[in-house]
């Protein structure tokens, strides 16, 4: 009888240890799955924004208006970026538009009660409307965004504004682009998480390799 009681006690201890390990692994799996699920929209949003900025078009052409961070008369609600033109559009046999499209980003209130705002990509494909200008198509990118900021590198420092109609102080050219564009996404603090003032924003830096050039020849010194 004593041996049976000892065996039952040992079996109970082993069973309790197995149960703790099993449920610990189950909780870890659930947390990992939730973290991956939360990270997917962020990764997709950053990939789309990087594609847009990497393919930015030099301002000044018929299908590539100015790059200005000042307010415009046709402000969309929740606008968080200036309009810019990019050649990231897709061409197929069912679409009459070219690859150049006008893009800006918006912060909109979510339809449900989730914290933060929705990051929306507003895109206009028809840049030469016959009569009425088309409303931009809105593409959802991610939820839980508190703030969105753009910075522009002029070759020496980061600036929070840009105006391609202003002549470059070094070259005297207009219709210039920054050497790089930096995006900072401040996420909404989750319940029980770090205070918003202490959380580090998600940062994306995109070098701009395309620049306007002039055909004027420079006169060399003797």
- Listed in sequence order, the residues at least 6 apart from 54 whose beta carbon sits closer than 8 Å to its beta carbon are 88, 206
pLDDT at 220: 47
User: Exposure of 59 by Cβ count < 10 A (0-12 exposed, 13-18 middle, 19+ buried)?
Assistant: buried
User: Structure tokens of 202?
Assistant: 């998600």
- Percent of the chain, pLDDT > 90? 28
> Facing residues of 186 across strands?
147
Residues in the chain: 222
User: What integer is the mean pLDDT of 17-31?
Assistant: 79
Cα–Cα distance measured from residue 210 to residue 55, given in angstroms and rounded to the nearest whole number: 8
Convert the pLDDT of each residue in 120-147 to its tens digit.
Answer: 999 988 887 777 777 888 999 998 899 9
Q: What is the pLDDT of residues 40-79, one digit of tens each?
A: 888 899 999 999 999 999 887 767 888 888 865 556 788 8
Beta bridge partners of 200: none
More confident residue, 41 or 220: 41
Q: What is the residue-averaged pLDDT of the chain?
A: 81
- The pLDDT score that the predictor gives to residue 151 is 95
Tokens of 39: 């990270």
Residue 129 confidence (pLDDT): 76
Give me the residue spans of the domains in the chain.
39-207
pTM of the entire structure? 0.74
């Amino acid at each position: 009888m004593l041996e049976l009681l000892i065996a039952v006690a040992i079996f109970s201890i082993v069973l309790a240890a197995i149960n703790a390990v099993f449920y610990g692994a189950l909780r870890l799996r659930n947390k990992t799955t939730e973290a991956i699920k939360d990270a997917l929209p962020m990764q997709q949003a950053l990939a789309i924004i990087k594609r847009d900025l990497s393919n930015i078009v030099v301002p000044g052409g018929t299908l590539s208006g100015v790059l200005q961070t000042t307010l415009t008369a046709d402000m969309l609600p929740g606008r968080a970026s200036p309009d810019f033109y990019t050649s990231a559009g897709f061409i197929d046999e069912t679409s009459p538009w070219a690859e150049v499209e006008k893009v800006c980003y918006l912060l909109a209130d979510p339809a449900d009660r989730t914290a933060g705002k929705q990051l929306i990509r507003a895109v206009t494909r028809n840049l030469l409307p016959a009569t009425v200008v088309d409303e931009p198509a809105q593409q959802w990118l991610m939820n839980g965004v508190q703030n969105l900021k753009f910075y522009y590198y002029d070759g020496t420092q980061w600036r929070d504004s840009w105006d391609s109609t202003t002549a470059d102080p070094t070259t005297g050219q207009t219709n210039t682009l920054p050497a790089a564009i930096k995006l900072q996404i401040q996420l909404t603090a989750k319940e029980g998480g770090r205070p918003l003032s202490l959380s580090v924003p998600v940062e994306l830096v995109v070098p701009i390799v395309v620049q306007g050039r002039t055909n004027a020849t420079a006169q060399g010194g003797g």
